[in-house]
């Protein structure tokens, strides 16, 4: 038995649980986003048994490492039923269509005002691009590598499907890394290494593109598209996988500001750097989505970028490659993606989430003082980000709940924070964010017939320290799985004692969440585990 008494505190907010949505009856086929999808996504525990069952029914893997499979609507229930019978079913959802964040274009102009707002082109020299420079993955349906702004770009994997499909990705790629060939605009990082990973038009294809980008060595992933919040859990798994592998996901915050302001995925997901849009007066764009998940902003109104349209005449059809002023958070995100990759080269000792924090901590504050739902931390500031002090690290991410570290969502399991034979103690420093990282969970092995002490120094913000039993599945509403909890007011040190009365070692879960007394978005702490 493991356990000690502990004070009770208010329950933390419960994050989105894996969905269990299967094809509805014909009479209810229009209920909810994606209910009429012809394809479904079924997620199982990653591994051979899930793969065997999925293959037997002809399902197509979205990403085997994540245990996700795409299958025709009429076979979805059968696959889910068989996985459930084997104790392997994790979630099910429709393969919904992606929605671009691009806004209707405005009048053409040859003024690239937006670059001057985030960097001083006359004073700052971008890093020299080499074959080892960080790779920026562009998740788009397609783009046109023959546009003058991209013809000599450092771009691989390019695929053109015609102007209607190409224009969006062409603009994104030009904003990121057009090499300044005197034929158009200069990208934020001229000549940056870019690779297109075709997104297709659905949840499964976009999610697969993200995992392919991770597996092909991307350092930063640009996602200038959205899904309705609450759909495409598969994409959430893909970005969590990216974070686990040390990649930084960057997303357009969305364009719902003038139409209900609904949150969108992937921008609202944990650890994804969400970028809103401002105009040439540094005012929030009317269309830019506003919520606590917005991390920072960049120009996104009348952004001059490469563009193309279908041109007909004389009985033939061709492509007109030109430039246009485009509006949307789609065109703000690539500015941040390019800067993130630039920083990864300039400051190679920093991890993906440190780069993310560096970009927000160096942003030029706009709107209300501090972080706010309109501007996040403020406007992207390339010069300041290069000189900002090193931010604290945040190891073991994603570790937002037990399911993200126990192998049931992503293989393999996260390593133990501490276990017998690895020294008498372990000390780490980590951070939390109400908007993007509300909880941290760690695996700790308690030796047989021994006890451990866990202490947490509250460096910033007010946190709660908890220990949960080996059989716990989630830290939220743990019920009888809670062993002990410590919730002392900031800045007092939290502390718990856990004893293993059995002969064999047992794995427990140590969690850090926000106290109900927390004010503000951020917290930082120092965690020490010691054997007694």
462-475 tens-digit pLDDT: 999 999 999 999 99
Using one digit for the tens of pLDDT, what is the confidence trace for 469-517?
999 999 999 999 999 999 999 999 999 999 999 999 999 999 999 999 9
Q: How far is CA 476 from the centre of its chain?
A: 21
Using one digit for the tens of pLDDT, what is the confidence trace for 324-342?
999 999 999 999 999 999 9
Strand 316-328, strand 303-313: pairing? antiparallel
Sheet holding 303-313, edge to edge: 102-103, 316-328, 303-313
Q: Which two tokens stand for residue 462?
A: 């007010």
Helix, strand or coil, per DSSP, at residue 278: strand
**What confidence tier does 10 reach under pLDDT thresholds 50, 70, 90?**
very low
Please tell me the distance from the alpha carbon of residue 234 to that of residue 43, in angstroms, as a whole number: 8
Given a contact cutoff of 8 angstroms between Cβ atoms, the answer to whether 266 and 227 are in contact is yes
- pLDDT, mean of residues 193-208: 97
In order of their start, the domains of the chain are 26-94 (3.30.70), 99-387 (3.40.50.200), 402-531 (2.60.120.380)
pTM: 0.90
Q: Which residues, in sequence order, are CB contacts of 115 under 8 Å at separation 6+?
A: 121, 185, 186, 188
Q: Looking at residue 7, what is its pLDDT? A: 29
Using one digit for the tens of pLDDT, what is the confidence trace for 149-169?
999 999 999 989 999 999 999
């Amino acid at each position: 038995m493991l356990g000690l008494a502990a004070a009770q505190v208010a329950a933390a907010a419960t994050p989105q649980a894996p969905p269990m949505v299967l094809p509805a009856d014909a009479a209810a086929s229009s209920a909810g986003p994606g209910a009429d999808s012809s394809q479904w996504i079924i997620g199982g525990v990653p591994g051979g048994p899930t793969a065997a069952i999925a293959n037997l029914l002809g399902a197509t893997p979205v990403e085997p490492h994540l245990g996700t499979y795409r299958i025709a609507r009429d076979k979805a229930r059968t696959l889910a039923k068989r996985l459930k019978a084997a104790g392997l079913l994790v979630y099910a959802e429709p393969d919904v269509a992606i929605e671009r964040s691009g806004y209707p274009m405005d009048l053409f102009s040859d003024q690239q005002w937006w670059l001057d707002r985030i960097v001083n082109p006359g004073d700052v020299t971008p890093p020299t691009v080499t074959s080892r420079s960080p790779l920026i993955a562009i998740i788009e349906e397609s783009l046109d590598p023959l546009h003058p702004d991209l013809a000599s770009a450092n771009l691989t994997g390019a695929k053109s499907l015609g102007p209607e499909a190409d224009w969006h990705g062409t603009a994104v790629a030009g904003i990121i890394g057009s090499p300044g060939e005197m034929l158009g605009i200069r990208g934020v990082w001229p000549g940056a290494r870019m690779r297109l990973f075709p997104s297709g038009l659905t949840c499964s294809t976009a999610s697969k593109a993200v995992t392919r980008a991770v597996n092909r060595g991307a350092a930063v992933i640009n996602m200038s598209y959205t899904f309705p919040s609450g759909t495409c859990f598969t994409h959430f798994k893909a970005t969590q996988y990216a974070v686990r592998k040390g990649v930084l996901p960057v997303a357009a915050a969305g364009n719902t500001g003038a139409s209900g302001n609904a949150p969108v995925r992937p921008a609202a997901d944990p650890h994804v750097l969400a970028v809103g849009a401002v105009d040439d007066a540094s005012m929030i764009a009317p269309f830019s989505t506003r919520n606590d998940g917005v991390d920072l902003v960049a120009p996104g109104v009348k952004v001059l970028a490469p563009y193309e349209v279908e041109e007909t005449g004389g009985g033939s059809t061709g492509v007109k490659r030109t430039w246009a002023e485009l509006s949307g958070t789609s065109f703000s995100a690539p500015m941040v993606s390019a800067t993130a990759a630039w920083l990864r080269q300039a400051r190679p000792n920093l991890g993906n989430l440190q780069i993310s924090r560096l970009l927000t901590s160096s942003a030029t504050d706009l709107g209300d003082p501090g972080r706010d739902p309109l501007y996040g931390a403020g406007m992207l500031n390339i010069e300041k980000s290069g000189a900002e002090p090193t931010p604290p690290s945040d190891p073991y991410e994603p570790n937002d709940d037990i399911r993200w570290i126990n192998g049931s969502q992503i293989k393999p399991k996260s390593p133990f924070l501490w276990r017998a034979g690895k020294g008498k103690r372990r000390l780490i420093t980590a951070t939390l964010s109400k908007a993007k990282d509300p909880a941290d969970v760690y695996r700790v092995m308690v030796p047989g017939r021994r006890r451990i002490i866990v202490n947490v120094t509250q460096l910033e913000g007010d946190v709660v320290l908890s220990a949960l039993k080996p059989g716990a599945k989630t830290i939220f509403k743990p019920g009888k799985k809670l062993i002990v909890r410590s919730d002392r007011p900031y800045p007092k040190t939290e502390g718990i004692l856990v004893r293993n009365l059995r002969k064999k070692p047992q794995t427990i879960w140590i969690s850090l969440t926000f106290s109900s007394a927390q004010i503000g978005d951020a917290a930082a702490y120092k965690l020490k585990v010691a054997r007694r």
